[in-house]
């Protein structure tokens, strides 16, 4: 069974702080690693990473994959209260188009 582990499980920061969320996995052969943001409802897609060392950026969010370390990080700079959410990491091996999700990191940004 593919295993995806996220850390920390939860995090409380002040607005303006920078946070780093971690995702580690055990599978070495996979097609992509995906990050999702989940507020009150359905998860929404953030990033898809396939190649090691190439950073993906979207505004204050960025993510990078390290295939040597079997991990990925999601960085959020200058956090805002609107960043409060559960951040999910998922691994896609390509088998039957299934994703394996981590447990998620719950981020709370306070004023």
Partner 1 sequence: DAGITQSPRYKITETGRQVTLMCHQTWSHSYMFWYRQDLGHGLRLIYYSAAADITDKGEVPDGYVVSRSKTENFPLTLESATRSQTSVYFCASIAPGQKNTGELFFGEGSRLTVL
Tell me if 27 sits within 8 A of 91, measured CB to CB: yes
Tell me if 63 sits within 8 A of 75, measured CB to CB: yes
Task: Determine, following the binding rule CB under 8 A, whether residue 90 of this chain makes contact with partner 1.
Answer: yes
Distance CA 82, CA 77 (A): 13
Task: Determine, following the binding rule CB under 8 A, whether residue 111 of this chain makes contact with partner 1.
Answer: no
For partner 1, which stretch binds (CB under 8 A), given 11-19, 21-29, 60-68, 87-95?
87-95
Tell me if 86 sits within 8 A of 38, measured CB to CB: yes
Q: Which of 50, 58, 72, 75 binds partner 1 (CB under 8 A)?
A: 50
Indicate the residue among 62 and 101 with the shorter CB distance to partner 1: 101
Task: Determine, following the binding rule CB under 8 A, whether residue 61 of this chain makes contact with partner 1.
Answer: no
Binding characters for partner 1, 10-49, by CB under 8 A (x = yes): ---------------------xx-x------xxxxx--x-
Query: Could you give the residue ranges of the DSSP H alpha helices within the chain?
Result: none
- Which two tokens mark 31? 């097609």
Distance CA 29, CA 41 (A): 31
Binding residues for partner 1 (CB under 8 A) = 1, 6, 31-32, 34, 41-45, 48, 50, 88, 90, 92, 94, 96-104
């Amino acid at each position: 069974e593919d295993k995806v582990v996220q850390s920390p499980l939860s995090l409380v920061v002040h607005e303006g702080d920078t946070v780093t969320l971690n995702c580690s996995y055990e599978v070495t052969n996979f097609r992509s690693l995906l990050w999702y943001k989940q507020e009150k409802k359905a998860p929404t897609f953030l990033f898809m990473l396939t190649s090691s060392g190439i950073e993906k950026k979207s505004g204050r969010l960025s993510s990078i994959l390290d295939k040597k370390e079997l991990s990925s990080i999601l960085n959020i700079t200058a956090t805002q209260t609107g960043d409060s959410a559960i951040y999910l990491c998922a691994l896609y091996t390509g088998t039957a188009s299934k994703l394996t999700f981590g447990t998620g990191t719950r981020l709370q940004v306070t004023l």
